[in-house]
Amino acid sequence: MNNTELKAKAIQIRMDLLRMIHGAKTGHTGGSLSNTDILTALYYRIMNIDPARPKWEDRDRFIASKGHSVESLWCILADLGFFSKEELATFSQFGTRLIGHPNNKVPGIEMNTGALGHGLAISVGMALAAKRDGKAYRVFCLMGDGEQAEGSVWEAAMAGAHYGLDNLVGFVDRNRLQISGSTEEVMGLDPLDEKWAAFGWNVVSLDGNDIDALVAALERVPAAIGKPTLIMANTVKGKGISFAENIPHWHHHVPSDEELARALTELKEAAERLARLEGQVR
């Protein structure tokens, strides 16, 4: 996909995840909206994957360490054909595979995650295995910014740099909000980019809701040979929905019928503006 197609896809994924959460009457809405652009760039442009062969040995790996924001991931995997889109209607229902965190019984999921602080360590192990086995696959790990208060994140960061894992890319979804409020009030993190750099990572800070910036950065990986890359993705929690953006309450707020209708209208209008802009450019 080109960048315009990626932007349109991200709008579609936001619409899908909102419908899914509304139908299930549960979910982590704000964080899924903030990470949608990151996952869209990865899955539709950057990662070397094959939905028909989810266990292909040379596939790139993705670990959703902030596993509670799984809704965007479920919608993307269904859209790509890892499983049927009809299964999205079972999200968080009794007996479903599509629970509220990544579940490796589902094709396309590498590990069960959601206990914060573990995903990067898993990713370090996978990237180290690739190096030692002479494999070319890469490992991508998405973390939350509230998750950065977990000490195990920093143990893994130290190991990733020590072993020179330039096949490893970490993301921090830096929306500055967690379930109990502002990250800087709950546990101050800034200057977070400097901390990662001090641990030996190549740090790229960008607008994590900007598809152009994400693609440009990811296509340069590895930008520093012998160093893992950390993308500080400065995002907006609730991105794409005007009345949800930067509102802590939307961490796991389920949209009402009226809120869903308003949100879908805003997203349809965004898609129409994108299409008009593309027409003008052409």
Tokens representing 27 are 């979910």
Place of tokens 């805003």: 266
What's the pLDDT score for residue 174? 97
Dihedrals φ, ψ of 248, to 5°? -55, -35
What's the pLDDT score for residue 140? 98
* Residue 228 and residue 202 in contact, taking contact as beta carbons nearer than 8 Å: yes
CATH of region 3-281: 3.40.50.970
Rounded distance between C-alpha atoms, residue 59 and residue 76, angstroms: 17
What's the pLDDT score for residue 222? 87
* Residue 209 and residue 34 in contact, taking contact as beta carbons nearer than 8 Å: yes
* Residue 178 and residue 145 in contact, taking contact as beta carbons nearer than 8 Å: yes
What's the pLDDT score for residue 280? 74
What's the pLDDT score for residue 223? 81
* Residue 224 and residue 216 in contact, taking contact as beta carbons nearer than 8 Å: no
What's the pLDDT score for residue 228? 98
What's the pLDDT score for residue 179? 84
What's the pLDDT score for residue 277? 87
**Mean pLDDT for each 10-residue chunk of the chain (282 residues)?**
97 98 97 98 98 98 97 98 98 97 97 94 98 98 97 98 98 93 92 98 98 97 93 98 95 97 98 89 62
What's the pLDDT score for residue 282? 61
The per-residue DSSP string of the chain comes to --HHHHHHHHHHHHHHHHHHHHHHT---HHHHHHHHHHHHHIIIII----TT-TT-TT--EEEESSGGG-HHHHHHHHHHTSS-GGGGGGTTSTT-S--SS--TTSTT--S---STT-HHHHHHHHHHHHHHHT----EEEEEESGGGG-HHHHHHHHHHHHTT-TTEEEEEEE-SEETTEEHHHHS---SHHHHHHHTT-EEEEEETT-HHHHHHHHTT-SSSTTS-EEEEEE--TTTT-TTTTT-GGGGSPPPPHHHHHHHHHHHHHHHHHHHHHHHHH-
What's the pLDDT score for residue 281? 63
* Residue 169 and residue 61 in contact, taking contact as beta carbons nearer than 8 Å: no
* Residue 114 and residue 33 in contact, taking contact as beta carbons nearer than 8 Å: no
* Residue 130 and residue 60 in contact, taking contact as beta carbons nearer than 8 Å: no
